[in-house]
Amino acid sequence: MIINSLIAFPQYRQDWAKQFGGDKADYAYTGIQDSEGRFVFAGKVVKKQTDTWVLVTDSKGNEIWGKTYEDSYISGANQIIETSDGNYMLAGFVQKKKRDRNLNGYLMKISKQGKPLWQKRFGGDFEDVLTDVVETADGGFVAVGYSFSNPDEEKSFWVISVEKSGNLKKEIQFGDTDEDCANAVIRTSDGNFIAGGYAFSGAGKNMRLIKFTQDCEVLWDMPSEYEDIREIHDLIELNDSSVVAVGTERVKGFDYDGFMLRFKNNGDTISSRKFGYGAWDEITCCAKTFDGNLVFGGFEKAGSDFSDFWMRKVSYEGKELYFDTYRRSSIDFPEAIFEASDNGIILTGHTWHIEQGWDYAVLKYKDANKTDVRFRKPEPLIATTPTSKFEIKACITSFTEPLRADVIVNGIIQVADAYSSFSMSESDCMFPVITEIKLKPGLNKVTVAVKDKRGNIVTSDRTVYYIPSSEMSW
């Protein structure tokens, strides 16, 4: 298996894991990194009532702010996105009053500080839920979910299109089986939309894919002919305009596998692959990575009461590149995965432990191959020297050989393309830089700047005070 051949040089390693929540039940269903580099998670918190909860952290997982929205008896967020005007959009469900039996889908726009800007409810008189939302080219929104407005009819695959202000433009429902639901939606490069989910009938739960315009005009509808259980959980468009759908299918009995289906923009299948090594494996979410591959989030359950987060990296063709399981004595369900700005991976969902109940769970993987540069001389951030010539030593760590390394003193390159200064005499360093620089009297800022083959520029700084011996007093 490919995983084993890569174990000696893993691309990722677990960086940190955190839980958030109180003494009640807290569930995370979605997460993103915003344009300011902050991690933003959303879901629900269950106390005397159920409220939407949004949590914002820094890149280390330290909480910046968290807010519950308590203006309803029941509410929760299934998706959060950053909008083009610098705010957040939530999609989920809301029941205004305890005696009000109507559960509606909602869109709520909030500021970066969590202040509600507007909220709109959608649906009929019984049960309607929005599961995902994307922004349109004109600043409006398309959201999907399921509609069960009439209890005498069946649950329907539900699509709504709204204006920038949240006013409904158009909606459409698909419901030709016993139960239909849309779990995910993406905006495609041709300006249209693809939604995925399932259609349940007596023959089983079959995956369903529908492509449509912003005005809810159906371009194609691809129901599955799978004879058991097969459900799409997430979608993503690739750089070649093909689309990958991920989800879960039942093999037999209680044996479930994750699956990956890749298809053209017109719905024609390109390839498919299953993933599963335990008794119960599911893929719940997916994301693209900087190097042109995919990461999947999921969980496995093998013969115990517990389930474990896992993260899997694959190529577009489904070739497995990396796999890791986060094991602990708890029940873990991942709901969202994304690549952070440092090329690490964030996996979020909820976790249950007998002593703590349900909490938000966030697992951060670090890119073990990310280029890094660290000074070895001078080692402290600030150093002094009585001579104008000063030797520096720095160590570059990189998965591939750096393109170049410059030594910059006071904003001016003194050693251009310090590649020639690489010395392999430092056996415990992959790519050492050892060179001599010239300092001016007083404060000097010394920088080593490295450009790697990904195009990333990584720097490290030191401050060196050159105090001529003639000016020293003893």
Condensed to tens digits (0 to 9), the pLDDT of residues 9-19 reads 457 888 899 98
Question: How far is the C-alpha of 442 from the C-alpha of 468, rounded, in Å?
Answer: 9
In degrees rounded to 5, what are phi and psi of residue 4? -65, -35
Residue 116 CA to residue 107 CA, distance in Å, equals 11
Which residue from 317, 295, 296, 299 is spatially nearest to 308, judged by alpha carbons?
299
CB 166 within 8 A of CB 190: no
Question: Cβ–Cβ contacts within 10 Å for residue 40, how many?
Answer: 21
In a structure prediction context, what are the per-residue pLDDT tens digits for the chain, which is 474 residues long? 222 333 334 578 888 999 888 777 888 999 999 999 999 999 998 877 888 999 999 999 999 999 999 777 788 999 999 999 999 999 999 987 666 667 889 999 999 999 999 999 998 878 899 999 999 999 999 999 999 876 667 788 999 999 999 999 999 987 766 788 999 999 999 999 999 999 877 667 788 999 999 999 999 998 766 556 789 999 999 999 999 999 998 877 667 888 999 999 999 999 999 987 666 788 999 999 988 899 999 888 755 566 788 899 999 999 999 988 887 777 888 899 999 998 899 999 988 876 667 888 899 998 877 788 889 888 777 778 888 899 999 988 877 778 889 999 999 999 987 754 444 455 577 788 889 999 999 999 999 999 987 788 889 999 999 988 776 554
What is the Cα–Cα distance from 173 to 453, expressed in whole angstroms? Answer: 48
Domains along the chain with CATH numbers: 2-367 (2.120.10.30), 372-471 (2.60.40.10)
pLDDT of residue 10: 56
What are the Cα distances from residue 379, in Å, to 160, 265, 434? 59, 54, 14
Q: What is the pLDDT of residue 249?
A: 87
pTM of the full structure: 0.79
pLDDT tens column, 252-276: 766 788 899 999 999 999 999 998 7
